[in-house]
Amino acid sequence: MFRIGCHISSAGGYLAMAKRAEALGANTFAFFTRNPRGGSAKPIEETDIAVFHAECARAGIDRLVAHAPYTLNPCAAKANVAEFARMAFSDDLQRMEHTPGQFYNFHPGSHVGQGIDAGIEKIAALLNEVLFPDMTTTVLLETMAGKGTEVGRSFEELACIIEGVAAKCPELSDKLGVCLDTCHVSDAGYDIIHDLDGVLDEFDRVVGIDRLHAVHINDSKNPCGAHKDRHECIGKGYLGSEEFGGGMQVMQNIVSNGRLRALPFILETPNELAGYAAEIKLLRSLQQ
Ligand code: FE
Ligand code: FE
Ligand code: ZN
């Protein structure tokens, strides 16, 4: 089954999200666990969760890729920012257990001048603190574009974080995986236009392909290696538009690739709802 969806507003709760996703033709989706800019999280209502599960079963939605708030920086330098990251991450992982066995995706963070090694060390330490042995969620580190002092701009940096967790507690590192963002990896310098399989071989060598659990499928406003992180609609940017050296064939290769095709694909393109519905339809038609 091809799983394709997009980022969905969490307004109105879980059942409302499932219905919104279905209306767009999606059978998977992403959502923010709390206000992406601030910190508040609405309490989860058991009755909402119950009807949500029934609706998902009916609609064939079996993968959720929750997204941590942007303000969550696991390697912050300031004490209050670090404390928010610890609190929000930990609380989110408790909340995720209401929807067992799903994915929680986060940005590894920005080291804000502390240096990459310190950043990686802090991220691993935070994960060791918030992950717990009987959790059912898989926590996904997102591949980053490498703007500013972002950590996670290379597969090596992601592998170092995972190894840092494993060094202290191998059991907890089993809870970790990766979400590959097509805009971000291209911006980071990985040439998925001309050599997707080579990039995935490298991922396998450095991180291990078994860790790859989800794809954010976005076009990019900038060329490979630009380190910008500006998402574009499918077919309008450097990956999907022939004008910039890419093309629909690139998108087709991504959704059809043997190592990716079974994963949930999530759109985070600059779209209104109708645009998402059209891109979902387009990508469905492209998968071979
Ligand atoms: Fe993200
Ligand atoms: Fe993303
Ligand atoms: Zn992005």
Q: Is 98 a catalytic residue?
A: no
Q: Is 67 a catalytic residue?
A: yes
Q: How far is CA 121 from CA 66, 125, 271, in A?
A: 24, 6, 36
Residues whose CB falls within 8 Å of the CB of residue 167, separated by 6 or more in sequence, listed in order = 124
pLDDT band with cut points at 50, 70 and 90 for residue 113? very high
DSSP-derived letter for residue 60 is T
164 in Cβ contact with 124 (< 8 Å): yes
Q: Is 229 a catalytic residue?
A: yes
- For the chain, the C-alpha Rg in angstroms (whole number) is 18
Q: Which of 92, 150, 181, 187 is catalytic?
A: 181
pLDDT at 259: 98
pLDDT at 37: 79
Q: Which of 7, 20, 213, 216 is catalytic?
A: 216
pLDDT at 71: 93
Q: What angle do CA 63, 262, 286 make, to 5 degrees?
A: 110
- Residue 192 clears pLDDT 80, i.e. is over it: yes
Q: Is 181 a catalytic residue?
A: yes
- Residue 124 clears pLDDT 90, i.e. is over it: yes
Tell me how long the chain is.
Answer: 288
pLDDT band with cut points at 50, 70 and 90 for residue 169? very high
- The predicted model gives 173-187 an average pLDDT of 98
pLDDT at 40: 78
Percent residues over pLDDT 90 in the chain: 97
232 in Cβ contact with 269 (< 8 Å): yes
Task: Give the C-alpha separation, 10 to 35, whole Å.
Answer: 9
* Mean pLDDT across the chain: 97
| pLDDT tens-place string over residues 19-63 | 999 999 999 999 999 887 777 788 999 999 999 999 999 999 999
CA of 105 to the centre of ligand 2 (A): 9
- The predicted model gives 91-108 an average pLDDT of 97
CA of 173 to the centre of ligand 1 (A): 21
Q: Is 37 a catalytic residue?
A: yes
Beta bridge partners of residue 7, listed in sequence order: 30
Task: Give the C-alpha separation, 109 to 120, whole Å.
Answer: 9
